Amino acid sequence: MKITQKVKKILDNYESDNPGTKANLTRILMHGRLGGSGRLVILPVDQGFEHGPVRSFAPNPPAYDPHYHFQLAIDAGLSAYAAPLGMIEAGADSFAGAIPTILKVNSANSLARNKDQAVHGSVKDALRLGCAAIGFTIYPGSDEQFGMMEEIRALGEEAKACGLAIVIWSYPRGGDLTKEGETAMDVCAYAAHMAALLGAHVIKVKLPTPHLYQDAAKKVYEKEKIDISTLSARVAHVVQSCFNGRRVVVFSGGEAKDDEGIFTEVRAIRDGGGTGSIIGRNTFQRPRDKALALLDKIIEIYQGKA
């Protein structure tokens, strides 16, 4: 496998990482139809933990089967597949080496009252299963946020020592944050920056709205005339907040929406300099043929063909 100049340039931004971690980042960046382009599309299937099986899989019953998701990601030519321990264990042998995997090592559930996540996977699990990276969620704004940050600090140290990459889902929620504040421009950029400061190689955030939540931040946005008028401009600002583009930033697909709504968002991510999409429910809740068609178009957009 010949590594492209675009991927080499991305790897150069990770100055402290050992060859093992860079090799695993390369596995993700060079895999699938977007391999070598500096763009990524990742399938995450952690929604069973977060929302329960019926809300996640009943709209497309074949998706109850973990093998379905491995095969969907492979057949669509995606960059990687991310899931919790049990999901990856259920297909680890059948699909060994077929696609880079990311072990999601913590999760919340819809039955809990507090905004926290339980750690249920380990670096040893990720190594045993041949994963390229571990994935971890933090909730900036939550009353539990500092404990979560300390957990990923410890796990991250172990993962990097073992040559694994780190993907951080940085989702503001909890505490005094309003629903509108969770996706506000200033809050999303802040959350993305925190993930970079915590040592993430790949940062996953939600797409920001033009709303400004923090009064002190709003004054700076207005004084400095920071352009957040379009979605692509807001994406560019999030990327800027991640060490001026020195970190890989992917954006969540979010709640179910129609095809054109997804394509509009993907074009904005592409035009704003985002690395790509990590899109779950909007694919696996559709029938397989429609999911493959959707992913095909998303990849074409990132290739500049649509």
> Is 38 within 8 Å of 28 (Cβ atoms)?
no
Burial of 46 (0-12, 13-18, 19+ CB in 10 A): buried
Distance of alpha carbon 145 from alpha carbon 215, whole angstroms:
21
Give the type of residue at 182.
E
Question: Given 204, 206, 218, 290, which residue is catalytic?
Answer: 204
Torsion, Cα of 152, 81, 29, 233 (10° steps): -80
Per-residue model confidence as pLDDT tens for the chain (306 residues): 789 999 999 999 999 999 999 999 999 999 999 999 999 999 999 999 999 999 999 999 999 999 999 999 999 999 999 999 999 999 999 999 999 999 999 999 999 989 999 999 999 999 999 999 999 999 999 999 999 999 999 999 999 999 999 999 999 999 999 999 999 999 999 999 999 999 999 999 999 999 999 999 999 999 999 999 999 999 999 999 999 999 999 999 766 678 999 999 999 999 999 999 999 999 999 999 999 999 999 999 999 998
Distance of alpha carbon 76 from alpha carbon 64, whole angstroms:
19
Note if 204 is an active site residue: yes
Task: Please name the residues in contact with 67: beta carbons below 8 A apart, sequence gap of 6 or more.
Answer: 90, 91, 94, 95
**Residue 87 is part of which domain span?**
5-302
Q: What share of the chain is helix, strand, coil (3-state, %, to 5)?
A: 45, 15, 40
CATH number, residue 58: 3.20.20.70
As for how many domains the chain has, the answer is: 1
